[in-house]
Amino acid sequence: MLEKQIIGHSGKKLMILGFVTVAIIFTIYSRYQDPETYTPDSMDSIQRIAYGFYIILITAFGAITYGIYLYLREKVEKNEKNITTIIALSVSTTRARKIFVITFVIYGIFFSLISGTLVYQPEINFVTHYGATIPSGFVSPCCDIPGYMPKIIVYLTEHVGLQIIPINLVLQVVVSYLVGLNMALASSAYTISKKGRGISTIGAAAGLFIACPTCAGTFMSIFIGTASGIALSIALTELQTLFIALSIPVLLVTPFIMAKKLRNADGSCKINPTK
């Protein structure tokens, strides 16, 4: 029992450490976005800091992922009669895990397209327009608003590339995880949680527009016309915080709503985690 408690506490600590680390590196790097502070002598140092930013960011993602794994494992092993245990048991089945992985990957790819992380421009040749070498990539350390630098640019072909923006990357991982979690729970509660599943769908749809509201406006322009789409893009950019505020909390709350549908009268879980 003591070992399980230690594992659970370790999981929480790793998750907290990971999220705090992400917040810290974003805050620190935002100080290097003033172009007036750049000099030829400082460029090499800023470039190294940019590389370090992504190394720390990936390490933080690893800590959060392992922390979640430890926390859920502890919940499954203790098998207590509470909502978080029901969530852990519901997503620990083989079927739920498969659905989570499939949803996470597919949604992540779709999010990449919507947010502009995965770029496909058939009308532009990267070699001709940008003098790019195929394949190639580089880290751009400056300059943009906080959260959008350092940016990774990768040229895969003459028309396909990657534009990795830190804030988009974080939102993509977080939202894709939450959508995958919701889908895994929904698969377990399909016949008894229609209301919860509907809320999850709303959260997932809103999550598509978090990373790049301008891309969302472009997407909308297909249906409402180019001129209106541009105006909508500007409006959506201003409402970016609102999209984040609406989608992520919904995706966080929905698992608890669905978990209540999976709860027996005595507080135990209706799902058999061994299946």
Q: What gap in Å lies between CA 107 and CA 101, rounded to an integer?
A: 10
Q: How far is CA 220 from the centre of its chain?
A: 22
Helix (H), strand (E) at residue 96: helix 94-115
At residue 74's C-alpha, the angle toward residues 66 and 170, to 5°, is 30
Spatial contact of 212 and 114, defined as CB atoms under 8 Å apart? yes
The pTM score is: 0.76
* Helices then strands, each counted (H, E), the chain: 10, 4
Spatial contact of 253 and 268, defined as CB atoms under 8 Å apart? no
| Tokens describing residue 259 | 């978990």
Q: How far is CA 26 from the centre of its chain?
A: 16
Instruction: Give one DSSP letter per residue of 145-203, joined into a string.
Output: STTS-SEEEEE-SSSEEEEE-HHHHHHHHHHHHHHHHHHHHHHHTTTT-HHHHHHHHHH
pLDDT digits (tens, 9 = 90+) for 164-214: 889 888 888 888 898 888 888 887 766 454 544 444 554 444 444 444 433
Residues 6+ positions from 59 with CB-CB distance below 8 Å:
21
Where are the chain's structural domains? 94-113+167-275
Q: What is the pLDDT along the chain (275 residues), one digit of tens a residue?
A: 545 555 557 888 999 999 999 999 999 988 877 777 677 777 788 889 899 999 999 999 999 999 999 998 888 888 787 888 888 888 888 888 898 999 899 888 887 877 778 888 888 888 888 888 888 888 888 877 888 889 998 999 888 888 888 988 888 888 889 888 888 888 776 645 454 444 455 444 444 444 443 344 444 443 444 334 334 444 444 455 456 656 778 788 888 887 777 777 666 676 665 55
Residues 6+ positions from 62 with CB-CB distance below 8 Å:
18
Residue 20 Cα distances to 24, 154, 178, 192, 222, angstroms:
6, 28, 19, 37, 39
Residues 6+ positions from 25 with CB-CB distance below 8 Å:
53, 56, 57, 60
Spatial contact of 133 and 98, defined as CB atoms under 8 Å apart? no
Tell which phi-psi region holds residue 173, choosing left (phi > 0), alpha (psi between -120 and 50) or beta: alpha
Angle between helices 83-90 and 43-78 (to 10 degrees): 100
